[in-house]
């Protein structure tokens, strides 16, 4: 009984948060094909099914993947902010969850702890103290190397592009992942969900938008603007945002996966069917 009420409450809060987030995005570009996809999701997507729905016309030739919570776990990122600001890591994670549920930007969690914080200055202070951004192989989700290689093995061009600093771009390139290119928002000077970011994604992919799949965990930063740019879209159910909204029918994802290992077979089948 109590578990049922809890589940109902959680579903309600996540739905309200998504509606708040969606209200912050201009959905006009989605009218038409996006809404058609949305209706199909109501009929065919169940919780945790690997699914393929209303695919964009054409064969996928290139896959571009988001970084945070798609390839890289955010544990170190938020943990290091908690340590820098002097609060327990659990407090930081809970606040990130809270601002997500309120439909606010992640950075609001930092402002709750340190009202008025100058984030650019804080980034610089952390770098100067030798506690700047860092990542290595242990930050990757365990399916990343094999998953990326498998995508290349079925003949796809594979790229990485997400909202990250130039430093993270350098660190990722240093990991020698099996990909064709890596780029970050700081390197491009434009960030998601801006349409100009997805123009750069299309150039990086080297394929027409309808033949390029963008994979990400976040409905508002990844799926909705990628769809608006004409890309095929895939929502990965991991990280707080992917798990909270992974099955929400109002998110117009063409594919929904539980991990990267699901993807090559879906795309290979798509290539074979056409």
Instruction: Give me the residues that bind Mg ion (CB under 5 A), please.
Output: 66, 68-69, 217-218
Alpha carbons 217 and 204: distance in angstroms, whole number: 20
We find the least distance from the C-beta atom of residue 191 to Mg ion, in angstroms, to be 12
Pick from 224, 213, 212: nearest CA to 248: 224
CA gap 197, 105 in Å, rounded = 18
Least Å from the CB of residue 68 to Mg ion: 4
Query: Are residues 208 and 185 in contact, defined by beta-carbon separation less than 8 angstroms?
Result: no
- Minimum CB–partner distance for residue 170 and Mg ion (Å): 19
The residue with its CB nearest to Mg ion is 68
Q: Compare residues 69 and 248 and give the one whose CB is closer to Mg ion.
A: 69
Alpha-carbon 132 to chain mean position = 22
In the complex with Mg ion, which residue's Cβ is closer, 54 or 175?
A: 175
Q: Which is nearer to Mg ion, 66 or 254 (CB)?
A: 66
Using the minimum distance from each CB to Mg ion, give the nearer residue, 67 or 202. 67
Please report how close the Cβ of residue 1 comes to Mg ion at its closest, in angstroms: 36
Q: Quick check: 96 and 68 in contact, CB under 8 A?
A: no
**Between 69 and 254, CB nearer to Mg ion:** 69
**Residue placing its CB nearer to Mg ion in the complex, 68 or 225:** 68
| Minimum CB distance to Mg ion, residue 214 (Å) | 11
Strand partners, 159: 64, 181
CB of 218: closest distance to Mg ion in angstroms? Answer: 5
Maximum alpha-carbon separation in the chain: 55
- CA-closest candidate to residue 112, choices 121, 120, 102: 102
Nearest to 159 by CA among 69, 70, 224, 252: 70
Backbone φ and ψ for 108, nearest 5 degrees, come out as -65, -25
């Amino acid at each position: 009984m109590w578990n049922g009420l809890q589940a109902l409450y959680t579903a309600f809060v996540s739905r309200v948060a998504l509606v708040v987030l969606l209200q912050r995005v201009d959905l006009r570009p989605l009218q038409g094909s996006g809404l058609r996809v949305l209706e199909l999701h109501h009929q065919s997507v169940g919780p945790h099914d690997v699914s393929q729905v209303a695919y964009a016309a054409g064969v996928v030739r290139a896959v571009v993947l988001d970084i945070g919570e798609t390839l890289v776990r955010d544990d170190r990122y938020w943990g290091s902010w908690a340590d820098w600001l002097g609060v327990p890591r659990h407090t930081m994670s809970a606040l990130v969850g809270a601002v997500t549920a309120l439909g606010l930007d992640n950075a609001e969690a930092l402002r709750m702890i340190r009202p008025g914080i100058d984030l650019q200055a804080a980034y610089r202070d952390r770098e100067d103290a030798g506690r700047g951004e860092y990542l290595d192989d242990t930050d990757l989700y365990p399916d990343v190397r094999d998953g990326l290689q498998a995508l290349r093995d079925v003949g796809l061009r594979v790229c990485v592009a997400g909202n990250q600093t130039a430093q993270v771009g350098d660190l990722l390139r240093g990991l020698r992942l099996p990909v064709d290119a890596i780029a970050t928002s700081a390197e491009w000077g434009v960030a998601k969900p801006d349409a100009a970011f997805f123009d750069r994604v299309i150039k990086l992919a080297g394929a027409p938008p309808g033949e390029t799949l963008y994979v990400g965990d976040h409905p508002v930063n990844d799926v909705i603007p990628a769809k608006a740019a004409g890309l095929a879209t895939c929502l990965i159910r991991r990280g707080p945002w992917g798990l909270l909204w992974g099955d929400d029918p109002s998110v117009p994802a063409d594919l929904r996966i539980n991990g990267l290992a699901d993807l090559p077979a879906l795309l290979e089948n798509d290539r074979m069917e056409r």
